[in-house]
Structure 1
Amino acid sequence: MNPILPLSEFIPDVEAHQFLDGRLYLYGSMDICGEDRWCSKQYKVFSTDDMKHWTDHGISFSTDQQGMGVFAGSILYAPDCIEKNGKYYLYFCTAVLNGKGLANGEGMAVSDNPWGRFKEVRPIPLANEDAIDPAIFIDDDGAAYLYWGQFRLRGARLKENMREIDEATLNTNIINEDSHGFHEGSSMRKRGDTYYLVYADDSSGAPTRLSYAMGKSPLGPFEQKGIIIDNIGCDPSVWNNHGSIAEFNGQWYVFYHRQTHNSKFSRRVCVEPITFQEDGSINRVEMTTQGIDGPLQPEMKMDAGRACQLSMNAFIQRDGKDEYIQAVTDGDSAIYKYYAFDGAQSSFTAIVRGAKRNSQIEIRLDHIAGELLGVCQIPPAQNPEQWTEVSCKIKKANGKHGLCLVFRGSGKDLFQIQKFWFYQ
């Protein structure tokens, strides 16, 4: 279910790789919940053997660790990692923090295992101080390729030491913003004899799309093909997207992130299964709450913060252990896709707090104008800090549907909603 990691974890910019032990590993940046900036000084690694249960391997790398050299104290932007000959090579980039650190730093570090810690830090000549967001790819013949860049993607073959670029192979304009909508965040994969270049696409005005291009060589040329997923609508202030595609046990997935906190920041990784057409093109997918898990069961207690779409003013907030939707105004909505209704559910309950006046939750199928199942009344709160259950009867529904909660009332900040569920 999306987001795929515990709701206390804010891991964006994810690259996913299945390694020698058969597990799928996630490498991403690490946002600090509620802060008004991207990323932090640390990376974490997570892994799974079933795409449902995730192991937190803890801090894998930090610019506060010993041996960081010119990168010491910098903010760590998006990373990538690859295995070669039993070693794991982490590629990272840095940004300035409070005037300290290396802007657009590009470096690498090594570990004997996929989760680190990664050490033996080295800058990468020609890429270091050039641009952000490294991506690493090893072809079928064992040749390794490094990609990096913003607005204009650079790429080159690496020498056998995995930290030096073969300058003769350097391509400083693989794709660019004008011709491909390339903003940043490249990621390379191969399927059959086709190379897939995934990237954040700003053609719509903001880089909320993960788009892809296809080619027959790791350094291009690449033909722009389409959009895999767009995270527009996940938060009122949504700005960027960054992720990857990966095959795990025969199924392909797209990993992407969503914003929270009515900000460009506090981002969390999500995943959707993807499929391919006969010509190799990728079918576009939508954001869902269910992710890879199949339709949701109505009786489960749903965290309101797992909404896959929010409209207007409402946004996901987290204070301590409390996760909720706040700042709801008349007509705002939260959508959860998809539920499997079986005609047995006759009631709806939500946990809310902070209602200043009489308000309502409309329970609708699919969208804001969809079939109305019921209306849950929310009276003014006697204690604005106390979570309270409110319930109502609903019409019974059948089949697979999105669930749209529409919030009604006068004024702003009507109430906060933490959880909800259906029952017989």
Structure 2
Amino acid sequence: MKKIKIINGLAFCSLSANAFAQNPVIQTHFSPDPAPMVYKDKMYVYTGDDIPGYDFYYMTKWRVHSSEDMVNWTDHGVPISLESFSWARDRAWAAQCVQRDGKFYWYICAQTVDNNMAIGVAVSDSPTGPFKDALGKPLVTTGTWDNIDPTVFIDDDGQAYLYWGNSKLFYVKLNKNMTSYDDKITEVPQSVEAFGGLRRPGKSEDVLQKQEKFNDVYVEGPWFYKRNKKYYLMYAGMTDRTECLSYSTSSSPTGPWKYQGKIMTDQPTNSFTNHGGIIDFRGKSYLFYHTGLLPGAGSYGRSTAIEEFKYNADGTIPKITMTKEGVNPVRILNPYQRNEAETIAWSEKCSTSENKKTGVFVSDIRVGGYIKVRAVDFGKGVSEFSASVAAGLDGGILEVRLDKTDGQKLAEIEVPRTGGWEEFKTLTSKITESVSGVHDVYFVFKGKNITAGRKLFNFDHWSFQKK
């Protein structure tokens, strides 16, 4: 039985709660350590890129996605990687991007050629790149493994702060150029009052995880921001052998900090670590975090998830429970413009790739897979569907269906050989079915007289024509 949901004054047609399954929000690649940023009425999220199959956090590049509606996420590919930094050798771990004076500064951490961790910064004129190393050397390097997980915030008076730390927590005041600092590095004092727990001297991280139990303790992954004149520091804490998300607050950007409690704990994330960011967008508050719940995932294959929440009246953050459904759309999608195929709410049996000529496109499409796009507003009707596709072999079929994978079929395109897997051609299909209003759209992948495991075609962009 169909139900109508009213979201921000818009009516959305759904078939069941499962139709809105959204977490994790990116399925084509692993996307750990999400760092959200709002720019020009669009949400961006900067992530790592776990490579599963290893018994460690093996990461060599960083990714960026964006969304105007919080549910359909556009893949912008890999604007930076370890190769972007001449001083970096391994461990492309957590990072955050911020905007200042029309430029975008992406603070990363990586292992140096001297076998330590350091923080660097890349710069671009666009939130999606291309980015380049701003310094040609690390911004922060102290010859230790403490220099991980940078978080950056620019205060109302223009002063920028960089926090980071592994077990220990540090900060510096950045200069206005965002690529240097004059003051010395300050270590933040840790106490039960400040962060909920205190480490025993000399205990290694491995021993802590296996033997010690804490109410809470700062571990890594700080996220620094300000709301209503109050400063918030969320971080990955440690409780009973697994990480939680906790936070402290202060009336000053440099403390002293007061422990406020856990935000997300004892959740079935299938991941030892958790790392997140909190941000407001279109009048709503969101927690970004990661889980290990995609097929073949786990603690070394983590993916971005999102939950909406409301602050308590006193500004404290409530306990947040992870969900499969994730968040609701905050606006509708226009089908009568070019829409990138890599703008996805949910997908199965496909991935994304990129090249210099085309940019990012959907690739590795297999029989039985699909792409779901949520909250598409058809208005009063459509007459034609167009898709840009590429194939080195024929036999692939692209179906367009409404609201579910076997829902009403609007269009079908049999994809011929186009001259190569990256030689894209735009094909069209007339639509005779009646359709209007807001629907989820499913691009369903099928094959004709081919084996199920064979690659079908690549998919770059799509659009509809009004009736």
Query: Shorter chain as normaliser: what TM range?
Result: 0.5 to 0.7
**8 Å Cα contact 2:247/2:263 also seen in 1:** yes
Q: Find the partner of 1:37 among 21, 34, 56.
A: 56
How far is 1:32 from its partner?
Answer: 1.8
SS of the aligned residue for 1:58 comes to: coil
Asked if 2 retains the 8 angstrom alpha-carbon contact of 1:214 and 1:222, the reply is yes
What SS class does the counterpart of residue 282 from structure 1 fall into? coil
Q: C-alpha separation between the residues in 1 aligned to 2:303 and 2:282? A: 24
- Asked if the contact 1:80–1:91 (Cα under 8 Å) also holds between the matched residues in 2, the reply is yes
Gaps of 5+ in 1: 295-301, 306-318, 325-385, 388-424
Match of 1:139 in 2: 155
State how far apart, in whole Å, the 2-side matches of 1:247 and 1:117 are. Answer: 26
CA pair 304-41 structure 1, distance change in 2 beyond 3 A: closer
Please, what TM-score do these two structures have when normalized by structure 2? 0.58
**2:208 corresponds to:** none
Name 1:390's counterpart in structure 2.
none
Tell me which of 252, 256, 275 is aligned to 2:289.
256
Output the CA distance in 1 between the equivalents of 2:179 and 2:161: 11
Equivalent residue for 2:280? 247
2:326 matches 1:291: yes
For 1:252, what is the secondary structure of its paired residue?
Answer: strand
Change (3 A) 1:108 1:203: same
| Contact residue 47 and residue 56 of structure 1 kept, 8 A | yes
Tell me the CA shift for residue 40 of structure 1. 1.6
Work out the CA distance in 2 between the residues paired with 1:199 and 1:24: 21
Give 1:26 shift. Answer: 0.3
Superimposed CA distance per residue, residues 130-185 of structure 1 (whole angstroms, 9 cap, x where no aligned partner): 42111111111111000110112101211122122332573443666517510100
1:213-270 CA distance string (max 9 Å, x none): 11111111111111211363232xx311000111111100101111144742110110
Aligned residues: 298
Distance 1:215 1:225 in 2: 10
How many Å apart are 1:106 and its aligned residue?
0.9
Q: Which of 87, 90, 95 lines up with 1:70 in the alignment?
A: 87
Residues 74 and 26 (structure 1 numbering): CA distance in 2 closer, same or farther, change over 3 Å? same
Q: Which amino acid aligns with 1:63?
A: L
Per-residue deviation, 1:195? 0.8
Give 1:83's match in structure 2, choosing from 85, 95, 99.
Answer: 99
- Change in Cα spacing, 1:40 to 1:188, as seen in structure 2 (3 Å) is same
SS of 1:199's equivalent in the other structure is strand
TM-score (norm 1): 0.64
Structure 1 252/62 Cα, relative in aligned 2: closer, same or farther at 3 Å?
A: same
Maintained 8 Å contact 1:231/1:258: no
Runs of 4+ in 1 over 4 A off after TM superposition: 126-130, 174-177, 302-305, 319-324
Is contact 2:26–2:303 with CA below 8 Å preserved after alignment?
A: no
Percentage of pairs with the same residue: 32
1:46 aligns with 2:81: no
Say if 1:106 and 1:132, in contact at 8 Å, map to a contact too: yes
Relative to structure 1, the CA distance from residue 321 to residue 276 in structure 2 (aligned partners, 3 Å threshold; closer, same or farther) is: farther
Check the 8 A contact 1:74/1:101 in 2, yes or no.
no
Which residue pairs with 2:125 in the alignment? 112
Structure 2 residue aligned with 1:271 = 306
1:115-194 → structure 2 map (5 Å cutoff)? 115-122=128-135, 123-125=138-140, 129=144, 130-168=146-184, 170-173=186-189, 178=198, 181-194=217-230
Contact 1:91 1:109 in 2 (8 A): yes
Distance 2:59 2:100 in 1: 27
Match of 1:211 among 246, 253, 261: 246
**Cα distance in 1, alignment partners of residues 250 and 43 from structure 2:** 25
Mapped to 1, the partners of 2:159 and 2:134 lie a distance apart of 21
Q: Residues 308-332 of structure 1, C-alpha deviation per residue, up to 9 Å, x if partnerless?
A: xxxxxxxxxxx996999xxxxxxxx
Aligned partner of residue 83 in structure 2, secondary structure: coil
Distance 2:147 2:125 in 1: 28
Unaligned runs of 5+ in 2: 1-20, 200-215, 330-345, 350-363, 370-451, 454-467
Range moving further from structure 2, 266-275 or 255-264: 255-264
Relative to structure 1, the CA distance from residue 240 to residue 322 in structure 2 (aligned partners, 3 Å threshold; closer, same or farther) is: farther
Using the alignment, how far apart are the partners of 2:69 and 2:247 within structure 1?
Answer: 26
How far off is 1:127 after superposition?
5.8
1:69 positional shift: 2.3
Aligned equivalents of 1:210 and 1:264: distance in 2?
16
Q: 1:8 aligns with which of 21, 24, 28?
A: 28
Any idea what SS the aligned residue of 1:69 has?
A: coil
The letter for the 1-side match of 2:165 is G
- SS of corresponding position for 1:155: strand
| Structure-2 change in CA distance of 1:8 and 1:35 (3 Å) | farther
- Residue 202, structure 1, aligned to residue 238, structure 2: yes
| Residue 256 of structure 2: aligned partner | 221
For 1:321 and 1:173, locate their aligned partners in 2 and report how far apart those are by CA, in whole Å.
53
Structure possessing the higher relative contact order (Cα contacts under 8 Å, 6 or more residues apart): 2
Matched-pair contact (CA < 8 Å) for 1:87–1:111: yes
Is the alpha carbon distance of 1:63 and 1:322 closer, same or farther for their aligned partners in structure 2, counting shifts above 3 Å?
Answer: farther
The equivalent residue for 1:334 is none
2-structure distance, mates of 1:159, 1:4: 36
SS across alignment from 2:121: strand
SS of the residue aligned with 1:190?
strand
Q: Determine the C-alpha separation between the residues in 2 that align with 1:9 and 1:33.
A: 10
Q: Secondary structure at the match of 2:198?
A: helix
